[in-house]
Amino acid sequence: MQRYVLDNGLVLWAHKGSFRRSHVILCTKAGYARDPPGKLGLAHLIEHLTIPEHLETIESLGCSVDGSTYRDYQTYECTLPVRSLPRFLEILRSHVTFSDHPDSHIEKERNALMLEGGKKLDCPSDRCEDLLNSMLEGVGSSQDELRGVKRVTRTDIQDFKSRYCVANNMVLVVVGKTDVTVVRDLAERVFGDLCTGSVPAISQLSMAGYGNKTEFVPSGLAYVAGGKYSISPEHPEFVPLECAVRTFHSIDLWTSRMFRELRLAHGLVYTPTANLEVQSAESSLLSWQVSCFPQNVGRVQSLIHGQLEDLASKGPSAAEWYRVRKAMLAELQNDICEADEYANYLLSHELHRHPLPTEYARLIRKVTQRKIRDAAGKHLVGGYHTVCVLPEQKIARPFSHCAQE
């Protein structure tokens, strides 16, 4: 993996591997935290405006692009055929610098953003998650965003882009079969004339807080209910559940495995899938989705609570911890073999969200059973749990839709 800093300050990570497709991420350090007072949601609105601009052209290249806005940064990422890389980078460049959006586009995406935020307010568990996240991240809630985005003007959009969509505020990651020198020359050609702004250069940010640290401690506001829909078209009669726990890196993968003890005898339909959302160096949101027979909802909920409390009081045995740690390291090794996962790890490293894979593996090896037990006892008690049962009226339509397909 090669790291370059272009003359204008843009940071480039390039890696040539045996991947079948290329994976590209462009990150701008301009998220919710950069929104002007009273106009929360400006960065999110810009993300919504940016994606559709050349969508048909992107799809014709065999690509699909996705955007995300966080507290500190905004990302656009794409997995694409290697042959489409030069053209896609050109489109990406025009994506992030264009600011003269028609009023009709601004209103259309403003309405889409308000609809997206309104859905969060309709679900109690989503509202709970949104409130907690806003407190942890130090930005407003969805209600604040709905109020703020109404006040955003065309001038706000242009000022924001001219200030933050600059070369020294960007990280570009390209992973694929293309030689790194070709990628570097391509980046120079496409992004080399992008102007430099007055924001601190992203390449000069320090890596303070990493190294020999053996565990991460989350912010005191601990846990939140999940509210994402988990639909199983194979088993439309089952009730989807979700449980989410705010945790930290040294136990996140361990807690995701505790459900393996809840077998079919307890009403589970299939082994749950875990979703880890890294929100800061100290805190993550880990959620699990399971399905069960409707008559077993109460029993499964009690079992989940019992498993968490058991982990909090005793922690894993020596044999369990050895087995889990070995599996965690194997998963990590598999993850970094894939282009998109590798690119995301590199991006996370550049933005100081969590350690590089090798550092993460070292942390896993250092964590002891006692630390697992003590940390779980501290953070898995008191308000950590909520199992969200999706109401029948909300799952009826998606199930029938899947059945029709």
Mean pLDDT of the region 210-230: 23
Instruction: Select from 229, 292, 226 the least CA-distant residue to 262.
Output: 292
**Which element (helix H / strand E) includes 225?**
none
Instruction: Indicate the range of 23-27, 198-202, 265-269, 345-349 predicted with least confidence.
Output: 265-269
Q: Is the pLDDT of residue 89 over 90?
A: yes
Please tell me which of 75-79, 83-87, 362-366 the model is most confident about, judged by mean pLDDT: 83-87
| pLDDT tens, position by position, 249-265 | 334 444 445 555 444 44
Decide: 272 and 258 in contact? Cβ < 8 Å: no
Q: Is the pLDDT of residue 105 over 60?
A: yes
Q: Is the pLDDT of residue 142 over 60?
A: yes
**Per-residue pLDDT at 77:** 81
**Per-residue pLDDT at 151:** 93
Contacting residues for 152 by C-beta, under 8 A, at least 6 apart:
39, 41, 42, 45, 110
- Side chain identity, residue 7: D
Q: Rounded CA gap, 112 and 36, in Å? A: 21
Please tell me which of 187-196, 204-213, 277-286 the model is most confident about, judged by mean pLDDT: 187-196
Q: Is the pLDDT of residue 377 over 90?
A: no
Share of the chain above pLDDT 70, in %: 44
**Per-residue pLDDT at 82:** 87
| pLDDT tens, position by position, 43-73 | 999 998 887 666 777 777 877 777 888 777 7
Which token pair is 128? Answer: 């709970």
Q: Is the pLDDT of residue 304 over 90?
A: no
Q: Rounded CA gap, 270 and 279, in Å? A: 28
pLDDT class of 310 with cuts at 50, 70, 90: low
Decide: 191 and 256 in contact? Cβ < 8 Å: no
Distance spanning both ends of the chain, measured CA to CA: 43
pLDDT mean across residues, the chain: 66
Q: Is the pLDDT of residue 402 over 50?
A: no
Residue 322 has φ and ψ, to the nearest 5°, of: -60, -45
Q: Rounded CA gap, 386 and 46, in Å? A: 34
Identify the CATH assignment for 239-404 out of 3.30.460.10, 3.30.830.10, 3.90.1150.10, 3.40.50.620: 3.30.830.10
Decide: 376 and 384 in contact? Cβ < 8 Å: no
Q: Rounded CA gap, 82 and 69, in Å? A: 26
Decide: 279 and 137 in contact? Cβ < 8 Å: yes
Contacting residues for 8 by C-beta, under 8 A, at least 6 apart:
167, 168, 191, 192, 193, 194, 195, 196
Which token pair is 166? Answer: 């600059």
The domains of the chain are located at 2-204, 239-404
**Per-residue pLDDT at 154:** 92
Domains 2-204 and 239-404 share a fold: yes
Instruction: Indicate the range of 10-19, 78-87, 230-239, 335-344 predicted with least confidence.
Output: 230-239
**Per-residue pLDDT at 388:** 43
Q: Is the pLDDT of residue 74 over 80?
A: yes
Mean pLDDT of the region 98-109: 88
- Side chain identity, residue 316: P
Mean pLDDT of the region 369-397: 44
Q: Going along 29-148, which residue ranges are E strands? A: 64-69, 74-80
Q: Is the pLDDT of residue 312 over 50?
A: yes
Q: What is the DSSP string of 1-32?
A: -EEEE-TTS-EEEEEE-S-SSEEEEEEES-SG
Q: Rounded CA gap, 312 and 363, in Å? A: 20
| pLDDT tens, position by position, 162-197 | 999 999 998 888 888 889 999 999 999 999 999 998
CB burial of 305-314 (b: ≥16 within 10 Å; e: otherwise) equals eebbbebbee
Instruction: Indicate the range of 215-224, 335-344, 345-354 predicted with least confidence.
Output: 215-224
Q: Rounded CA gap, 259 and 328, in Å? A: 15
Q: Domain 2-204 adopts which CATH fold?
A: Cytochrome Bc1 Complex; Chain A, domain 1 (3.30.830)
**Per-residue pLDDT at 183:** 95
